[in-house]
Structure 1
Amino acid sequence: MDALAARTLGRVAMPDERFAEHLQHPVGRGHAPAGGSMGAGAAGGAACGDLVTVRVAVADGVVVDAGFDASGCGAAQAAASAAVELVRGATILDAARVGSAAIADELGGLSVGKLHAADLASDALHQALGGAVARAEVTEVVAGRTLVAMSGGVDSTVAALLLAQGGEEVVAVTLELWRDAENDAEASCCSASAVRSARAIAHRMGLPHFTLDLRDGFRDGVVSPWLAEHAAGLTPNPCVRCNGHVRLDAMVDFADRVGATALATGHYARRSADGLLRAAADDAKDQTYMLAALGRRTLARLRFPLGDLNKPEVRAIAREHDLPVASKPDSQDLCFLAGTGRERFLERHGGLTERPGDVLDATGTVLGTHRGHFHYTVGQRRGLPVQRPEPLYVVRTDARANTITLGPRAALDVDRVALRGIRLHGGRAASEVDGVRLRYHAPVVPCRLEPDGVALAESFSAPAPGQTAVLLAGDVVIGCATIGS
């Protein structure tokens, strides 16, 4: 019997009585918790008319206090009161198992029309709990405890399942990185909707689940640089920046707060004998490109349970265990662009509006007019403002002059690529670099690393300034850099 079940054993009040008790005598309404690391979360708002705010205080791995405020329907108040009742005095892991179903059960069951209130209370509670734990002191490591980054997709879910089957104590965490009314929340892997979905799956698997709100850090560390680099005429790679400097570092830090020895993810990657990134067994799904900027300290704490599997095997495992995400499609777009176009996003969030400029050929002859250099990237063929009988491609953009230069495909082929910000990992030497990946899932090109770039053994088409160059020794990532102009 778990702690939550023990605390509710013996309650014999009828369902309507339990609901009425929380409605008439709410637990912690208007109360400001004290005595530990503080966290607050809110859910609901104008769209539904109900708003729930939950506050918790955490100390020594226990929710020492909690309170709430609620407006809207009576069910929202009762659900928030139930959430507070369930987590007061609970360990953080027991509190992290409290979801919509537990809150509904505490109220004696809820009708379909009132389940929304339990969802809101659960969302607010988990935001508060995640915030409090993230600010808490580092706790003692528990042998065999692993934090798993769960996005709600099949890969991270199977990663958690495999670890649990191996006898590990699995704790799940999901990041909320972006919230935008114009986004398709169901298509994003980091929205509030995705967090709720991941929490439901984790609870179905019997796992404690935390929500970690990194929206401010994500905007400052990923979205703002992405916008600035577009304005500067570059083609940035926000996923490399996010993995290397924002989300995985934050989750490793969170692992320290819950006593986990490691952080596991659903990435298709492996580790080399000396602790560097190594390509996954399934080359078609290998994700080491997106992880190439990871620091050694963070990489040392990471585990990749799917590194030796391929995608069909992962889906088969999910189906075998009747996981609802077995057939869930992979995310295909940047998480903050889900449901909205790149041009619309650049306009709304970066102020990059229509700015006509010249379209040039290689000789500088004006071929026509474009809508703004930031709408185009090197190698682009579709959607060009000038059409000719022969195919044309963007071979260069110039942000300062606001021009784009078009040319034949052959003009994109290069045998040398300028690099900036070259980083070599683990004390590796430049002479060890024997290959470079210049685009996600592009073939590895044999090369020689030079002080300011790579000399390629064979030509490569359209390396885009601003993208990441991943430096390899065989199938091991030993460095990375940014492609220059």
Structure 2
Amino acid sequence: MPLAPIQDHLSAPRGLGALAGAPHSGAAGGAVCGDIIRIAVRVEDGVVAEAGFDASGCAAARAAGSAVVELVEGAGALSAASIGPVQVAGALGGLAPSHSHAADLAVDALHRALGAAARDGAIHLAPRPGRTLVAMSGGVDSAVAALLAARAGEDVLAVTLELWADPATDGEKSCCSPQAVTGARALAHRMGIPHLTLDLREDFEREVVDPFVTGYSGGVTPNPCTSCNGRVRFGAMLALAEALGAERLATGHYARIADDGRGPLLERAADDHKDQAYMLARLRPEQLERLSFPLGALTKPEVREIAREAGLPVADRRESQDLCFLAGRRREEFLARRGAKPAGPGPIVDRRGRVLGEHAGHERFTVGQRKGIKLAAEEPLFVLHKDPEANVVMVGPRSALATDRVRLDPIALERPENEVDRVKLRYRSAPVACRVRGDVVELEDTVDGAAPGQLACLMNGSRVLGWGTVAG
């Protein structure tokens, strides 16, 4: 009498201990559940030529690792990228609810291994017309971007970036946590889309988190999202798109791409309330040439309605408002946990240098801020300036924030400076008429201060011509 599938895998596990030293491997599990599964793959010519596994913990974990090896060996990389817990459980003849986590862990380990292979260039597919790689976060916007690409007849693949993992933050509130990756993968598979994961945690920490901590300690207000888009996310995803033979990368951002005859430029979205061109301002023309923003002409309500009609489970999912690495934690707490030495108490002074009170640390404030000053005055007080070396915060009335000149360092333009006619100094602010002279932006109307470290989006009408960082 033949053995049941799960008993067969337990008595004769496939690939147990194989590829122990392979560079392309992934592990899932840990102390919380007591089960750990490690999967390794060797990919040649777009095919998983060999796979291996190791597992500790319950018998179901060992069986699930064996099942994954059997499923992926000899399969194309994209077929392997389509494997989810349902297929693993099916290969084992089904799993009891108490053991279903083993299939989840095995799949997570597999996809980490495939992601490592993809990032190292081991997965390289021939170019295919109409193939599009879609960046999926697990939210409604990226899901609809993938849906629209599929409806347009494109061969859709999906990628999710794992940028941050911190047990002290709420992974459900982060767009790039391990929980977000798992959710995005499940959604992609539900939509019939092969899914890959890129682990960019080291890059993200080096290029985004470390400068964020250093910036606040040094008295500036960094904009980590623009840095992430310009220095981490898009470069890696475009490289993956090329390796997978995709013509373009599509994302769920609200923005458009225009061409003025001299090459592509970023353009504001049709929905002013959702426009994300500011956050994407650091993208270069050579990147824009291979990008697509399917939601650029849509409003958020329209996107949600498309998702509802398609039966997507994320149609009414709430949007995350936090920075992905804060995810429910206070900024000051995060900085302290990252080793930033608190400046400690210091004086709050007026424009004449008179001491009005005491603050708990200059890093808690940014230029233009009102909240947290906690001083009685005839009119509301705002932060005008910070001296991080002396740990002094200067405050004054809102009128004292007014400025008509902003210096940028650095500044990057894709068109001559005389074509810039407006600037956007904050994500939520309206563009202000201006002209650029060297590294100085001269404003036609005054604005209430510009926080050093923030991005300035330089525009002509609705088109983005470049960007700069507000200097102190």
Q: TM-score range by the shorter chain?
A: over 0.9
**Is 1:90 paired with 2:102?**
no
* Within-5 A mapping of 1:48-87: 48-87=33-72
Looking at structure 1, the residues matched to 242 and 74 of structure 2 have their Cα atoms a distance apart, in angstroms, of 21
Give the distance between the partners of 1:31 and 1:431, measured in 2 at CA.
62
Q: Could you list the per-position Cα deviations for residues 264-318 of structure 1 after superposition, in whole angstroms to 9, with x for gaps in the alignment?
A: 0000011112311011111111101000011222221110010110100000000
Structure 1 residue 367, shift from structure 2 partner: 1.2
Say yes or no: does 1:223 pair with 2:209. yes
Q: Does 1:136 align with 2:125?
A: no
Q: Using structure 1 for the length normalisation, give the TM-score.
A: 0.94
Aligned to 1:383: 372
Segment drifting more, 52-61 vs 130-139: 130-139
* Structure 1 residue 261 corresponds to structure 2 residue 250: no
Q: What residue in structure 1 maps to residue 400 of structure 2? A: 411
Say whether 1:280 aligns with 2:266: no
CA displacement at 1:453 relative to structure 2: 1.3
Partner SS state of residue 246, structure 1 = helix
Q: Distance in 2 between matches of 1:282 and 1:269?
A: 9
How many angstroms does 1:390 deviate by?
2.2
Secondary structure in structure 2 of the residue aligned to 1:272: strand
Matches within 5 A, 1:58-457: 58-136=43-121, 138-273=124-259, 274-353=263-342, 355-425=344-414, 428-457=415-444
Alpha-carbon distance in 1 for matches of 2:54, 2:379: 65
| Secondary structure of 2:325 counterpart | helix
* Cα deviation, residue 385, structure 1: 4.4
Q: Does the Cα contact within 8 Å between 1:58 and 1:133 map onto a contact in 2?
A: no
**Bigger mean CA deviation after superposition, 93-102 or 290-299:** 290-299
Whole-angstrom CA distance in 2 between matches of 1:332 and 1:339:
9
Query: What TM-score, normalized by structure 2, do the two folds share?
Result: 0.97
Distance 1:238 1:350 in 2: 18
For 1:472, the equivalent position in structure 2 comes to 459
Amino acid at match of 2:422: G
Residue aligned with 2:264, SS: coil
Tell me how far apart the structure 2 counterparts of residues 93 and 33 of structure 1 sit (CA, whole Å): 23
Aligned mate of 1:28, from 10, 15, 36 = 15
Unaligned runs of 5+ in 1: 1-11
- Which digits, 9 at most, give the CA deviation of each residue in 1:343-396, with x for residues without a partner? 110000132335111111110011122111111111111112433342111111
**Whole-angstrom CA distance in 2 between matches of 1:246 and 1:84:** 32
Change (3 A) 1:13 1:320: farther
1:133 to 1:360, Cα distance in 2 relative to 1, 3 A: same
Does the CA-based 8 Å contact 1:269-1:306 persist in structure 2?
yes
Structure 2: state its 5+ residue gaps. none
Question: Taking every aligned residue pair, what percent have the same amino acid on both sides?
Answer: 54
1: distance between equivalents of 2:328 and 2:62? 33
Q: How big is the shift at 1:58?
A: 1.1
CA RMSD of aligned residues (A): 1.4
**CA–CA distance in 2 between the matches of 1:183 and 1:55?**
29
Residue matched to 2:448: 461
1:247-277 Cα distance to aligned partner (Å, 9 max, x none): 1100000111211111100000111123110
AA matched with 2:67? A
SS in 1 for 2:456: strand
Q: Distance in 1 between matches of 2:2 and 2:409?
A: 68
Structure 1 residue 145: Cα displacement? 0.6
User: Structure 1 106/378 Cα, relative in aligned 2: closer, same or farther at 3 Å?
Assistant: same
C-alpha separation in 1, matches of 2:432 and 2:32: 51
1:33 positional shift: 6.6
Amino acid corresponding to residue 191 of structure 2 in structure 1: M
Check conservation: 1:104, 1:110, Cα contact below 8 A: yes
Question: Which whole-Å CA distance do the structure 2 matches of 1:84 and 1:221 have between them?
Answer: 36
1:33–1:65 CA contact under 8 A, matched in 2? no
> How far apart in 1 are the matches of 2:129 and 2:255?
24
Instruction: Name 2:468's counterpart in structure 1.
Output: 481
Query: Counterparts of 1:418 and 1:350 in 2: how far apart (Å)?
Result: 31
Contact 1:447 1:457 in 2 (8 A): yes
Deviation at 1:13, TM superposition (A): 6.6
CA distance in 2, matches of 1:359, 1:134: 49
Aligned-partner Cα distance in 2 for 1:296–1:111: 52
The answer to whether the Cα contact below 8 Å between 1:148 and 1:170 also exists between their aligned partners in 2 is: yes
The CA distance in 1 between the partners of 2:441 and 2:121, in whole Å, is 45
Provide the rounded CA distance (Å) in 1 between the counterparts of 2:174 and 2:292. Answer: 24
